[in-house]
Structure 1
Amino acid sequence: MSQLKASDIKRIAQLSQIAISDDEIPMIEEKLESTLAILNQLQNVDTTNVEPMSDPFDRTQPFREDIVTESNHRDDYQVVAPSVEKGLYLVPKVIE
């Protein structure tokens, strides 16, 4: 027995901004029901003794040294800018 109604699928499509035809509703309903069945199976899995983890491979996040690896090219880039003042790009005011 289907848990979803055609009106539910149309509403989901509208919220997702997806255009669907009435002919597509049965196929979409079948796929959504299949997905919901899998999610229901996952809800029933006992995770009482399972520790949360951030990485399934049990490794730590590699850190890199906080060092400058590139030189500052701001002056080179600003040479071609139409208007610059004190290291900042000046742009025309577009909103009053």
Structure 2
Amino acid sequence: MCTSSTSRPISVCSTCSGPAYAVEAVLIGDDRIPPLHEPLADLLPAPLTWVGAFDGAGGRTVLVSTGRDNTPARRLYEGYGFTWVNDAEVIPGLWVTSCRLTP
């Protein structure tokens, strides 16, 4: 999980998020993914919790989103028990799928 409480988790996220979003851009055929173009300094003040790995959900509902056409990510989430919530066009032509894991 990435939070601003320590520099290590943020450092890990900043190191892997750019390349990860670049791969997703190739998979979905669109590089307009907002986090791909936003500097880390702009993301830090946002009320975000980035879940990179977990062992159970601690009794809470977890919501995730990925590019609608990012089949590997969708399969990964489904494999962990996430269920589809909806698809949304976040900017013209860029679709995101949201999934939920309910305890």
The TM-score normalised by the length of structure 2 is 0.24
Query: Would you tell me which structure has more strand in proportion to its own residues?
Result: 2
The TM-score normalised by the length of structure 1 is 0.25
